[in-house]
Amino acid sequence: MEQEFYQGLAHRVRNIAEKADPFTRRRLLDLAKRYDAKGGQTSRPAAAERPLPTPRTTPPASIFSGPGEA
Protein backbone atom coordinates (compact mmCIF):
# COMPACT_ATOMS: atom_id res chain seq x y z
CA MET A 1 0.00 0.00 0.00
CA GLU A 2 2.79 2.42 0.93
CA GLN A 3 4.63 1.58 -2.30
CA GLU A 4 1.56 2.54 -4.36
CA PHE A 5 1.23 5.79 -2.42
CA TYR A 6 4.81 6.89 -3.20
CA GLN A 7 4.52 5.73 -6.81
CA GLY A 8 1.41 7.89 -7.16
CA LEU A 9 3.20 10.88 -5.66
CA ALA A 10 6.16 10.40 -8.00
CA HIS A 11 3.82 10.22 -10.98
CA ARG A 12 1.99 13.41 -9.98
CA VAL A 13 5.24 15.27 -9.36
CA ARG A 14 6.55 14.24 -12.80
CA ASN A 15 3.35 15.51 -14.42
CA ILE A 16 3.79 18.87 -12.71
CA ALA A 17 7.46 18.95 -13.74
CA GLU A 18 6.49 18.70 -17.43
CA LYS A 19 4.93 22.18 -17.22
CA ALA A 20 7.55 23.81 -14.97
CA ASP A 21 10.51 26.03 -15.73
CA PRO A 22 13.91 24.29 -15.98
CA PHE A 23 15.03 25.04 -12.41
CA THR A 24 11.76 23.87 -10.87
CA ARG A 25 11.62 20.85 -13.22
CA ARG A 26 15.01 19.65 -12.00
CA ARG A 27 13.96 19.98 -8.36
CA LEU A 28 10.64 18.21 -8.98
CA LEU A 29 12.33 15.34 -10.82
CA ASP A 30 14.75 14.94 -7.91
CA LEU A 31 11.76 14.81 -5.58
CA ALA A 32 10.12 12.16 -7.75
CA LYS A 33 13.31 10.06 -7.57
CA ARG A 34 13.18 10.26 -3.79
CA TYR A 35 9.55 9.14 -3.82
CA ASP A 36 10.50 6.22 -6.08
CA ALA A 37 13.24 5.23 -3.63
CA LYS A 38 10.82 5.35 -0.70
CA GLY A 39 8.36 3.23 -2.63
CA GLY A 40 11.03 0.60 -3.26
CA GLN A 41 11.21 1.26 -6.99
CA THR A 42 14.47 1.79 -8.84
CA SER A 43 14.95 5.24 -10.29
CA ARG A 44 13.62 5.89 -13.75
CA PRO A 45 15.90 7.01 -16.52
CA ALA A 46 15.93 10.78 -16.76
CA ALA A 47 13.67 12.34 -19.36
CA ALA A 48 15.45 13.69 -22.41
CA GLU A 49 15.88 17.35 -21.69
CA ARG A 50 18.45 19.93 -22.57
CA PRO A 51 20.96 20.88 -19.91
CA LEU A 52 20.70 24.38 -18.52
CA PRO A 53 23.01 26.95 -20.10
CA THR A 54 26.08 27.82 -18.08
CA PRO A 55 25.59 30.96 -16.00
CA ARG A 56 27.29 34.10 -17.20
CA THR A 57 30.21 35.39 -15.22
CA THR A 58 29.84 38.92 -16.59
CA PRO A 59 26.72 40.80 -17.63
CA PRO A 60 26.06 41.10 -21.37
CA ALA A 61 27.80 43.97 -23.15
CA SER A 62 24.44 45.59 -24.00
CA ILE A 63 24.14 46.69 -20.37
CA PHE A 64 27.26 48.83 -20.73
CA SER A 65 26.45 50.41 -24.09
CA GLY A 66 24.59 53.68 -24.46
CA PRO A 67 24.25 56.64 -22.11
CA GLY A 68 24.92 55.83 -18.50
CA GLU A 69 22.97 56.72 -15.40
CA ALA A 70 24.69 57.95 -12.28
CA separation for the pair 14, 10 (Å, rounded): 6
How many residues does this entry show for the chain? 70
- Residue 55: CB atoms within 10 Å: 5
Q: What is the pTM of this model?
A: 0.54
Quickly state the pLDDT bin for 43 (edges 50, 70, 90): very low
Domains of the chain: total: 1
| Residue 29 belongs to domain spanning | 1-44
CA separation for the pair 11, 7 (Å, rounded): 6
pLDDT in tens, 8-36: 999 999 999 999 999 999 999 999 999 99
Do the domain assignments include residue 50? no
pLDDT in tens, 50-60: 677 777 777 66
What's the pLDDT score for residue 2? 86
Do the domain assignments include residue 30? yes
